[in-house]
Amino acid sequence: MDAESRAYHEAFMREAIAMAELALKSDETPVGCVFVRDGNIIGRGGNETNRTLNGTRHAEFVALASILQSNPITILEETDLYVTVEPCVMCASMLRQYRVRAVYFGCWNERFGGTGGVLNIHSDPSVDSPMPVFGGIFREEAIMLLRKFYVQENEKAPEPKQKKTRELKTEIAPTDIHAPKDAATKV
């Protein structure tokens, strides 16, 4: 990848990281994303699983719910996703069903990644066409945010309070984030 296109992708990943930081401030697992069409951000999202008590309210869902409020679904066919952590199996399937054009992500998710970290939902046999994915953009920054969250949660809960709540809050432990098992293309 040449310097110019690297700079292009990194600029959007910085915006995704800003959304992850926002999530962190709200005591959410710091994962953030932006959707980009024609060089413009058309939607942003951060994790909302803890506040909604809904384990499916991932950043990608949150962003798409606002985008599709005022855009037709077909717009996604010419839209790219930038997300700080590899989409999980659920989100990978959703993005492919919506025919999102391409996915750019920061670090891999070895606990339930759906685009190379654990499964390959973007490229497995399916009635939907394959979805290109590119991982490793600002990987360290994405991991650092997850570490911060881990420390923050541990400091806040020195006593083992409700174990079940804590389980959700650390749904992606920093130790789970490494390199891909088999490589999604590195940018």
Partner 1 sequence: MSTPEVAASSLEQLGLVARRGQLQPLKTKDEVRAALETYSAYVVEVPAKHANAVKDVIQDALPDLRTSDFGHLRRVVQFKFLPPHLQKTFHPPSRLPRGDEDEHSDVPEDALAEELDTVRFFLVSPTRYIQPADLLLALRKKPPFDILPTAPRILYVTVPALAPTSAEQAAKWTIDYWPIAYKNTNPYGPHPSLVLRNTADLSYEAGHWLALAREAGRQISDLQLGENIGCVIVDKTKGVSNIIAVAGDCRWRSPVGATTPQQGQGNVMAHAVERAIAMVAKKRLRVANANPDLLDRPLFCDSPFTDLEKRFFAMDNLEPHGYLCVDLDIFITHEPCVMCSMAILHSRFRRCVFGRRVPLTGGLAADEAVKKGDGSIGAGNGLGHGIFWRPSELNWKFLAWDWVDEDENDTVLSIKDTLHI
Q: How many CB atoms lie within 10 A of CB 167?
A: 9
Q: How far is CA 50 from CA 36, 39, 55, 92, in A?
A: 26, 32, 8, 21
Q: According to the binding rule CB under 8 A, does residue 35 interact with partner 1?
A: no
Any long-range contacts for 129-133 (C-beta under 8 Å, 24+ apart)?
129/99, 130/96, 131/92, 131/95, 131/96, 131/99, 131/100, 131/101, 131/102, 131/103, 132/101, 132/102, 132/103, 132/185, 133/102, 133/103, 133/104, 133/105, 133/184, 133/185
Q: What are phi and psi of 23, to 5 degrees?
A: -60, -45
As measured in angstroms, the least distance from the Cβ of 148 to partner 1 is 21
As measured in angstroms, the least distance from the Cβ of 130 to Zn ion is 19
Q: According to the binding rule CB under 8 A, does residue 175 interact with partner 1?
A: no
Q: According to the binding rule CB under 5 A, does residue 16 interact with Zn ion?
A: no
Q: Which two tokens stand for residue 13?
A: 């990943």
List 16, 33, 64, 91, residue binding Zn ion (CB under 5 A):
91
Q: Identify residue 96 by its one-letter amino acid code.
A: R
Answer yes or no: 60 catalytic.
yes
Stretch near partner 1 under the rule CB under 8 A, chosen from 33-41, 109-117, 135-143, 151-159:
109-117
As measured in angstroms, the least distance from the Cβ of 74 to partner 1 is 7
| Partner whose footprint covers residue 52, from partner 1, Zn ion, none (CB < 5 to 8 Å by kind) | partner 1
The whole-angstrom distance between residue 53's C-alpha and the CA centroid of its chain comes to: 19
Site string for partner 1, 74-103 (x = CB under 8 A): x-------------xxxxxxx--xxx----
As measured in angstroms, the least distance from the Cβ of 123 to partner 1 is 11
Stretch near partner 1 under the rule CB under 8 A, chosen from 14-22, 29-37, 134-142, 162-170:
162-170
Query: Do 19 and 34 contact (CB within 8 A), yes or no?
Result: yes
- The binding site for Zn ion (CB under 5 A) comprises 58, 88, 90-91
- The binding site for partner 1 (CB under 8 A) comprises 48, 51-57, 61-62, 64-66, 68-70, 73-74, 88-94, 97-99, 111-112, 114, 118-119, 121, 124-127, 162, 164-165, 167-168
